Structure formats: C-alpha cells, structure tokens
Amino acid sequence: MKRFHRLHPLFAGLLVTGIALSAVPGHASSLPRSHGNASVSIRMAYFGGPDTKALLDKITPKYEKAYKGTTVVYEPEADRVKQVTAIAAGTAPDVFMLGDGDVRWYEAKGALANLSPYMKKDKVSTSQWIKGTLSIGTRKGKIYALPKDYSTLAVYYNKDMFRAAGVPFPKKGWTLNQFRADAVKLTKNDIYGASLSGDWVREVDPFVRELGGHLDNSNGTKTVGYMNSPATVKAIQWWVDLFLKYKISPTPAAAKSLGIGDLFASQKAAMNVTGIWPSLGASGYPSTLKFNWGVAPFPTGPHAKHVNTICWAGFGMSPTSKHKNQAWGLVKYMAGPVGDNVWGTAGGLPALKAIAAKHKVSKNPVSGVFLKEAKFSDLPSDINGPAAPQAVSDTLTEGLDLLLNSPNAGTVQQVLTIEAQKGQKAIQQYNAGG
C-alpha cells in the first residue's frame, strides 16, 4: 500500500500525459485506410461541397468497377492551404481537383505529375478535347492537368428591355463600341445597361486584349512594359469610362451597396457579362427568369480582333503517389468521357468534343454560344505563370478598386505604372524564393 502510495503521483502523471498525448492526431491515424477487401486505396481531394461530392459519386462506381480492388477515398478541401500543407507533409492525395489559379504554381513546384507519358501509353489523344480547354493544364508541351469543366464569357441580354429601348438584339460579330453604345441607350433611371464586375481581372483581361493591350507577357514573367503599356492604359481607360463616364454599370462598391445580388435577374441591368454558371442547375436562368432573354457572344474588338477567356477546373496527379497507375486511371475517368458527361452538363461546358456532340451543345441557344467562344479563349493573364495571381490579379484588382472608387486619386497611367512595378516585384520575390 505504501509502495502504491509512493508510485501514485508518478502513475497519475503518466496517465494524464498518456491521455493528453492520445488526443494528439497522429500522422498514422490521419491516413485513410483501405475499405473492405480493397487492396489499393486512392485518395482524391476535391472542392465544391456536397453538390460536387454527389457528382463524384456518379463517376466512382464505374471507375472502381474498371479498376477492381481499388477504392476511392474522397477528401474535401476547405481551402488550398490544407492541400499545400498535405503536400508539404508528404501526405498529398493521389489525385487533386485543381482550380485554374493553382495549376502553374503546383506544376512549377513539382507537385503535379506529367500526364503525357500515361496518355501516350494509353493512347489518349489530345485532339479529342475542344481547343482551348487544355491550355491551362499544359506547360511546355507536357500535360499536367486535364479539364473538369470550364466556361468562357458571353453576354446575357434582356430581350424585353432591348425591344422597349428600340435597340436591335446583339448578333455574332458585334463590336465593343456597339456593346457600349447599346448599354448607354439601355441605361436610364435606376436601370443599368450592363452588369460588369469592375475589378474581376478574368473579365477585364479579354476586353484589354481585344483593345490591343496585355496585362503581362505570355509566360507571366513580366508586367512592366505590359500592364503599363500605352495600349493597356488606353484599354483600362476605356473600361473605367464604362463605369464613371458612361455609367452603364455600377462600380463594385455601388453594386455591393445595392444589395440585389444578380442585377440582370432582378431586371436592374439589361445585360450581364459572365460565364455559363447563372444558367445552370434548378435555380438557373432558364427556370427562374420571368422575362425574355438571350445570350450573345462576347463582343469583338477593333479590327475584328476577337478574344475570350476561360474559367476552368481540372484534375492532376501527385508525383509522389504510390499507386500511379490507379491514380492516372482515376484522372482518366474523371476527365474522360465518363466524367465529362457528368461535369460538362452540371458544372460547366463539356471539354470533350464527343460529349459536346452527344448533348448537341453547339445547337443549344445558351450553352452553344459559350461553347463556340472556347476557340477564342487564350490562357488568362492572371494565371499564365506561377506568380501571376499575385503579380497580375492582386495588383490590377487593387488598381481598379482605386480607379473606380476614388476617381480623383490618380490617373490610369499613374496607377498602372505603380501596379506594374508592384507586379514585377512579386514575380522577382517568387523567383528569389526558388
């Protein structure tokens, strides 16, 4: 008893320490285990919540049937930080769902496997994808990610408002100046001619390119001399004038303050320049709008220069995967006909020509317009290099916020010069970090 009494504090301390340590999530316990009798477990990280998971569940059984003995374990990613942390910790998932802003950085850091050899081995031809949909996942001729879904930009327009204002409906080949002139005619009282984001660089980019400017060079390594070039300054001035001079769209702050959300759906704007998203799903435009509407292609710039952009998500594979064949198989299923049939009809446009043809997308008056724009989409300036999200997107967003919300603070030339230098510094900082 005496002996026990002497050991008591020691025992108590060890017990408490043991309990505390058992609460610490260990490396081993955080790893998924194989389910049932499956011999291989493939981990795939995804974003998008329960809706995306429901779509993944449509694809999984077909994959698991084809790859017998393989089970897919899905891991929801609340944000990219968790994904990067997992890569750093050596616990990267076998397959990633990727946002378009991540691909260049992941590839540059060696976190994505080159898929080209696997595609060659399995005779997966790149020609089966619609032009423009592979550009984000391709670097120096090697494919690092295959498309999940995507959208280009087009213009939704309210036919009733156009008729009431005596403005002809926009047609293929309409120009930027026609777009602006129509929007001016349609702007009256508390109705705006168009709903534009104002500071969303992905939307601004094709306007700038059509007007002859560039936000950075083609591989995202230079902003000075591009973002502040005379042509870009002129293009951004054109853009800023839409808000401040012609007042065809509320500025971002004014739009937020209106508290309406979708100005076009609320009939507070006659046009909406955006992607295919508002017309998807049960609450999409086709089933909810109570007025006549249509979709027009993105306007064409001077000298018939037509440029569009692409908003994209895709799939990549970790080079550290221990089950590369199964992981590649999952990428192939996700981005191939089985997956594209699911994604291309629920989350955006189909990337495979065969799936687009199967669903007769090109003949659809809504999705067909977006699909036809895909061939004009170029690699967006804000994601064409590993540092471009900071060097182009962050800087130009800040510059546009200043120009649109504090018009007297500085000239477009002055603001873009500062932002171009800031962007260049971000690129240098990235390069210095290796």
21 contacts another protein (rule: CB under 8 A):
yes
Q: What is the DSSP string of 43-100?
A: EEEE-SHHHHHHHHHHHHHHHHHHSTTEEEEEEE-SSHHHHHHHHHTT---SEEEEET
Per-residue tokens: 129: 């994808």
Rounded Cα distance between 341 and 383, Å, is: 27
Toward another protein, which CB reaches closer, 13 or 230?
Answer: 13
Among 95, 265, 396, 415, binds another protein (CB under 8 A): 415
410 contacts another protein (rule: CB under 8 A):
yes
Q: What is the DSSP string of 166-196?
A: TPPPP-TT-BHHHHHHHHHHH-BTTBBS-B-
Toward another protein, which CB reaches closer, 262 or 394?
Answer: 394
Beta-carbon-side half-sphere exposure of residue 205 (alpha carbons within 13 Å): 30
258 contacts another protein (rule: CB under 8 A):
yes
Residues 259-278 that bind another protein (CB under 8 A): 259
Number of residues counted as binding another protein (CB under 8 A)? 50
Beta-carbon-side half-sphere exposure of residue 22 (alpha carbons within 13 Å): 6
292 contacts another protein (rule: CB under 8 A):
no
The helix or strand, by DSSP H or E, that contains position 139, with its residue range, turns out to be strand 138-139
116 contacts another protein (rule: CB under 8 A):
no
Helices 230-244 and 412-432 pack at an angle, to 10 degrees, of: 120
Rounded Cα distance between 335 and 350, Å, is: 10
30 contacts another protein (rule: CB under 8 A):
no
206 contacts another protein (rule: CB under 8 A):
no
66 contacts another protein (rule: CB under 8 A):
no
List the x/- string, 77-106, binding to another protein by CB under 8 A: ---xx--xx-xx----------------x-
Of 19-27, 65-73, 142-150, 204-212, the segment contacting another protein by CB under 8 A is 19-27
Rounded Cα distance between 283 and 433, Å, is: 45
Residue 268 contacts residue 260 (beta carbons within 8 Å)? yes
430 contacts another protein (rule: CB under 8 A):
yes
Smallest distance, Å, CB 285 to another protein? Answer: 26
Of 36-44, 177-185, 204-212, 394-402, the segment contacting another protein by CB under 8 A is 394-402
The helix or strand, by DSSP H or E, that contains position 151, with its residue range, turns out to be strand 145-151
Smallest distance, Å, CB 391 to another protein? Answer: 10
Which residues bind to another protein, rule: CB under 8 A?
A: 9-10, 12-14, 16-17, 19-21, 24, 80-81, 84-85, 87-88, 105, 109-111, 253-254, 256-259, 387, 389-390, 394, 398-399, 401-402, 405-406, 409-410, 414-415, 418-419, 422, 426, 429-430, 432-434
